[in-house]
Amino acid sequence: MSLYDGIFYAFAIITVVSAFIVVLSKNIIYSAVSLFITLFGVAGFFVLLHADFIAVTQIMIYIGGILVLLIFGVMLTTKITDVKLKTKNINALTSAIFVIGITAVLIFIMLTTNWKVAEVVKYDETIDKIGVLLLTDYLLPFEIASIILLIALIGAAMYARKSK
C-alpha cells in the first residue's frame, strides 16, 4: 500500500463518516460542522485526482460560501437555544431501505461495468488549461453561467424579502 493509497483511505473514511454524522445528527449545528469536514474531504479527493484548481474552488466556494450561507439559514430560521434545533428523522426505516437499495444498485453497476481506463495523463498545472478552455470552447456556457448567477442573486434577494 503506497502513500497515495493510504491518503485515499484516510480521506475516504473521514468523508464518509462525517457525511453520516451530517445526516444522522440530531443537532443541526453538528450537522453543519460535519458537512464542513465532508466537503473538505471531497476537496482532498480532488487533489488526489490531480484537480488542484477544483479542489481550491471547492474549499473556497463550498466551505467559504455555501456552508456559511447554510449556517446563516439555520440561524435566521431557528433560535439557537430553541428545542427545535434538534430535528428528527421521518420514516427513517423505509427511507433507509430505499437508499441502501439504490446505493447498492449504484455500486453494483460501477463494479460490474467494464470502464475503459485510459493512460493517466499528468498535468503540472490545470489552471491555465481550464482558463483557456473557459474562454474558448466553453465561452458560451461560461457567460450563461454568469447570467444564471445574476438571476439567482436577484431572485434570491427578491424571494427572501418579507412579503408585505
Scan residues 95-124 and list those touching another protein (CB under 8 A). Answer: 95-96, 98-103, 105-107, 109-113, 115-121, 123
Q: How far is the CB of 124 from another protein (least distance, A)?
A: 12
Q: Under rule CB under 8 A, how many of the chain's residues touch another protein? A: 92
Q: Return the residue of 82, 140, 157, 164 that touches another protein, per CB under 8 A.
A: 157
Backbone angles phi, psi at 86, to 5 degrees: -85, 125
Q: Return the residue of 10, 139, 143, 155 that touches another protein, per CB under 8 A.
A: 155
- By CB under 8 A, is residue 50 in contact with another protein? yes
Nearer to another protein, 4 or 80 (CB): 4
Cα–chain center distance at 21: 15
- By CB under 8 A, is residue 164 in contact with another protein? no
3-state secondary structure (DSSP) of residue 156: helix
Q: How far is the CB of 81 from another protein (least distance, A)?
A: 16
Q: Return the residue of 10, 61, 139, 143 that touches another protein, per CB under 8 A.
A: 61
How does 16-38 read in b/e, with b if 16+ C-beta sit within 10 Å?
eebbebbeebeebeebbbbbbbb
- By CB under 8 A, is residue 136 in contact with another protein? no
Cβ neighbours for 29, distance < 8 A, ≥ 6 positions apart: 71, 74, 85
| Contact (CB, 8 A) for 14 and 37 | yes
- By CB under 8 A, is residue 140 in contact with another protein? no
Q: How far is the CB of 85 from another protein (least distance, A)?
A: 9
Cα 136 to Cα 153: distance, rounded to the nearest angstrom? 26
